[in-house]
Amino acid sequence: MVDSRPVVHRSRRGWALALTALAFFMVSLDLLVVITALPAIQRDLGTSLATLEWTVNAYSLASAAGIITAAALADRFGRRRLFTLGLALFTAASAACALAPTAGILVAARAVQGLGAAMVTPIALTILVSAFPPERRGAIVGVWGGLAGLAIAGGPLVGGAVTQGLDWHWIFWVNVPIGLVASILARLRLAESYGAATRLDLPAVALATGGAVGLVWGLVRANDLGWGNPQIIAALAAGFLLLGAFVAWERRAREPMLPLRLFQNRTFAAAGATAFLTTAALLAAAFMLSQYLQVALGNSPLQAGLRFLPMTATPLLVAPTAGLLADRFGQRPVMLVGLLLFAVGLAWLAVVATPEAGYARLVLPLLLAGVGISMPFATTPTAALSAVAPMDMGKASGATNTLQRFGGVFGVAVATAVFTANGHLGTPASFEAGLRPALALAASLAVLGALSAVAVGNRRVPSVAQPGAAPTVSFPSSKALLTGAVNANGGS
């Protein structure tokens, strides 16, 4: 008998991997690419450096606030359509950033960039996972995760190199041709897919967006105004209250934007917690170590980025292998070992990273930390999305990416608070006094991530659909069908 089931063609899968990886690399890179360019932008636009820090904060705020809403819209109106629209919006905002004549316009354009990133980030992962059969997802997401880690950690290096070699405007101009080509190819080469056909939950959109803005704004401003400042207390309280109202609303909603039953799944909930803690540890460590290399050791932005390579370039090499190992042995052991290695590397750096340290003393712990962080980046998204039914993948991806965004903001905020409480930038000795506990905090976050990874189910994804598995998902524009489905219960 001839098997009449349609399949996803290899060319479609190749385009899905190439375009989603390129888009995610671009939007992840722009999260931190402006950090090393801020002094040059400040001189050119004639404004304060404190004001220009909002070029980072505005991007984080907008992207964190919009991810869940974008994922819900994509499920309803089409993932390819929203992905392409997000790329176009991000590209247009990049051009606006490059042309910005004032700091205010630059910050506003960065916020629009963040909205574009919020549309690209969760949808890219959903498109990628949906395009491949379950038995290949670990390796594919490993490649994707390696690029993500490389982009986040390599942002300061790229920003410093482009600013020093060309001009700060080019950190934004470089996105324009890439974004244009990627958006056109996405429209032509990606298959359209949809999530569950539900009505748009407008009250949930308002509550989730308001809660995200309140929490992220409070976290990014706390170290400037003080954690006891009434504005910070009010922002954080409002954020928690609105998110609490969001949870209460979603419990009663007939067609919720984020089905809370997803968090009743042990594997999905544990993977989400691991994603939060992993990103918190990574960005806390990257932020502090980039300051250490420049402030304590006197490196230029470009030199600091180059000396960071043992940690930042490692994910590109290790993450695909980690994905293959996860396909064979399960995600849990790979996540657990990776986070423990990352914690050991950070603890080692906390001991040896002194103002008098030669760079040779830093290479091995940086390399160990890089190998460690590569492993959860390659496996955590697969664990989270493989634990849910295919029709829930869009919402699950949005929730996981939102947790990662909050984790990054939280990590930088608490690391800065710990540093400020124990040291300051005045002298090498005072910098070391703050650096050690801040890196120890980052290592502790990695250990907590390892503990949460223990609760992730370790069943390998089956190569064919099993009895009781979730229903398959169709792709109308290519008439393609996933060759296998993951079990919706995510058992251990």
- Model confidence over 119-159: pLDDT tens digits? 887 777 777 777 776 666 666 666 666 666 666 666 666 77
pLDDT, residue 38, reads 67
Query: Which ranges of the chain have pLDDT less than 50?
Result: 1-9, 461-492
The pLDDT score that the predictor gives to residue 149 is 60
If 0-12 CB within 10 Å is exposed, 13-18 middle and 19+ buried, where does residue 388 land?
buried
* Residue 89 pLDDT: 92
pLDDT at 152: 61
The whole-number pLDDT of residue 492 equals 28
Q: What is the pLDDT of residue 188?
A: 82
What's the pLDDT score for residue 140? 65
413-449 confidence digits (pLDDT tens): 788 778 877 877 667 677 778 888 999 999 999 999 9
CATH topology of domain 10-192+257-481: Growth Hormone; Chain: A; (1.20.1250)
